[in-house]
């Protein structure tokens, strides 16, 4: 076993203490500010929250960069949620998407040579020492194969398996402690889901197969492309793929300078995920900005990083069609039944609770349909109202595939806001949901 692949007792203790103190301070700060707002009503409360949010986000950023592993992965997700989190968190944590401090080249070279069983020069004519991207689990280097093909080489950090195991154990303790004080907040299902999918995300051969599966969905849609996998040089910890240049999807200035139609990019993006989820039942479940590039010619959307991909249950499409029809018909009972059929459960097993939630979402859908595009203010209002609704009618089990779809929708919503899109979401999604696309 590689000696760097295990953590010492001291390292495990340090990580546990770092996680606990960082999130403990933030939790206590939230409670203190809530008390001040509720009891004292200071006129500068908005500014107080803004300062607190930015300071908290910076402390989370520092901890994520320091600890990497699962902590960094989770913070990358949070940094893409412009439609949910306060602005200060998004501004700070979004820096994690593809600007994680890289590992030294000597570490990368060691992983590649060990996994491929030969010196670097026996496979690559050139291999850039400086990575083009570094993330929570791996970093990517540009290279050239001996036959001259330009490739991107994704290399997993050697200690990441041990880091993930340590982080899962630390978060399990932390989430249980949160559950003692916040009894309506059950975070353990989320942690269980992380523990289930992360091993698959750490297998780069699995990621390569996922990439080829999604690429097959778009053989007739040249506006969506996926890099080709070079299987002869791909292993569990090294992924060699076609190099595809492009502009990061959130670099609005560069996209506009290249005369790219931002509405067209958003349309392609939404349709790409409609096709994956609603037609093929298999989808890229981690479309954060670092995994999406735009090539100005066309434009074309480049999908990267398929480590987190998801198969949907066989009857999922029927459930979504029933849900869509209930929304169209303004049928709260039908929507409640559709939620049950999709696997939602309430604490006491009472379907009436789901029907009440259904009526809440139908009211939002009526307002949504009245808009020509997704008004960010409507989503801000929805995000204010959802927590109170869930506390009064607590859902205790949301199917894991619905959690991941919700995550994708949140990421796409945030990207739509960044691109200032006026795409008609309802008109785009409904034909796919009803099988008419």
Query: Which residues are catalytic, by number?
Result: 286
> Which residues pair with residue 300 across a beta bridge?
295
Cβ–Cβ under 8 Å, residues 178 and 187:
yes
Torsion sign, CA atoms 144, 146, 147, 148? positive
- Report how far apart the first and last C-alpha atoms of the chain are (Å, whole number): 51
Q: What are phi and psi of 247, to 5 degrees?
A: -100, 130
* Helices and strands counted in the chain (H then E): 16, 13
Burial 345-354 (b: 16+ CB within 10 A, else e): bbeeeebebb
**Crossing angle, helix 9-39 and helix 45-67, to 10 degrees?**
170
Q: For residue 331, how many C-alpha atoms fall within 13 Å in the half-sphere facing its CB?
A: 13
Cβ–Cβ under 8 Å, residues 310 and 201:
no
The pair of three-digit structure tokens given for residue 228, joined into one six-digit string? 């080709």
Three-state SS for 169?
helix
Three-state SS for 343?
coil
Q: What are phi and psi of 317, to 5 degrees?
A: -60, -40
Cβ–Cβ under 8 Å, residues 96 and 65:
yes
The pair of three-digit structure tokens given for residue 358, joined into one six-digit string? 């259904």
**Please, which residues have CB within 8 angstroms of residue 224's CB and are 6 or more apart in sequence?**
218, 268, 272, 300, 301, 303
Torsion sign, CA atoms 335, 336, 337, 341? positive
Q: How many residues does the chain have?
A: 437
Nearest by Cα to 418 from 200, 280, 255, 284:
255
Q: What are phi and psi of 261, to 5 degrees?
A: -75, 110
Q: For residue 26, how many C-alpha atoms fall within 13 Å in the half-sphere facing its CB?
A: 19
Distance CA 432, CA 311 (A): 17
Helix (H) / strand (E) element for 398: namely none
Distance CA 172, CA 186 (A): 11
The pair of three-digit structure tokens given for residue 126, joined into one six-digit string? 């050139």
């Amino acid at each position: 076993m590689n000696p760097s692949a295990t953590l010492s007792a001291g390292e495990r203790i340090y990580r546990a203490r770092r996680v606990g103190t960082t999130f403990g301070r933030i939790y206590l700060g939230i409670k203190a500010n809530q008390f001040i707002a509720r009891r004292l009503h200071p006129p500068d409360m908005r500014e107080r929250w803004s300062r607190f949010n930015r300071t908290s986000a910076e402390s989370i950023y520092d901890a994520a960069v320091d600890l990497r592993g699962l902590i960094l992965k989770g913070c990358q997700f949070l940094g893409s949620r412009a439609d949910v989190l306060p602005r200060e968190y998004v501004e700070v944590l979004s820096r994690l998407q593809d600007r994680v401090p890289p590992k030294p080249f000597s570490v990368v070279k060691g992983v590649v040579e060990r996994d491929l069983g030969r010196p670097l020069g026996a496979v690559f004519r050139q291999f850039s020492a400086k990575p083009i991207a570094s993330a929570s689990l791996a970093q990517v280097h540009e290279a050239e194969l001996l036959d001259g093909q330009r490739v991107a080489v994704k290399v997993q950090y050697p200690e990441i398996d041990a880091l993930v195991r340590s982080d899962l154990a630390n978060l399990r303790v932390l989430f249980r402690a949160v559950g003692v004080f916040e009894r309506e907040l059950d975070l353990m299902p989320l942690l269980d889901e992380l523990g289930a999918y992360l091993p698959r995300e750490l297998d780069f051969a699995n990621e390569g197969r996922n990439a080829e599966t999604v690429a097959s969905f778009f053989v007739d849609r040249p506006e969506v492309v996926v890099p080709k996998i070079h299987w002869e040089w791909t292993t569990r910890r090294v992924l060699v793929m076609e190099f595809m240049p492009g502009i990061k999807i959130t670099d609005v200035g560069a996209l506009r300078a290249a005369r790219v139609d931002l509405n067209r990019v958003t349309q392609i993006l939404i349709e790409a995920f409609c096709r994956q989820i609603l037609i093929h039942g298999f989808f890229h479940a981690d479309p954060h900005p670092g995994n999406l590039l735009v090539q100005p010619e066309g434009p074309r959307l480049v999908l990267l990083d398929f480590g987190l991909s998801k198969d949907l249950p066989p009857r999922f499409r029927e459930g979504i069609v029933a849900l869509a029809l209930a929304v169209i018909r303004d049928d709260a009972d039908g929507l409640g039944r559709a939620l049950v059929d999709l696997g939602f459960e309430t604490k006491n097993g009472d379907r009436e609770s789901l029907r009440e939630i259904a009526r809440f979402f139908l009211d939002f859908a009526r307002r949504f349909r009245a808009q020509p595009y997704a008004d960010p203010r409507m989503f801000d209002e929805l995000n204010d109202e959802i927590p109170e609704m869930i506390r009064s009618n607590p859902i205790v089990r949301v199917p894991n595939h619905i959690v991941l779809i919700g995550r994708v929708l949140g990421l796409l919503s945030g990207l739509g806001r960044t691109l200032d899109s006026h795409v008609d979401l309802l008109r785009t999604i409904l034909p796919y949901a009803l099988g008419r696309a």
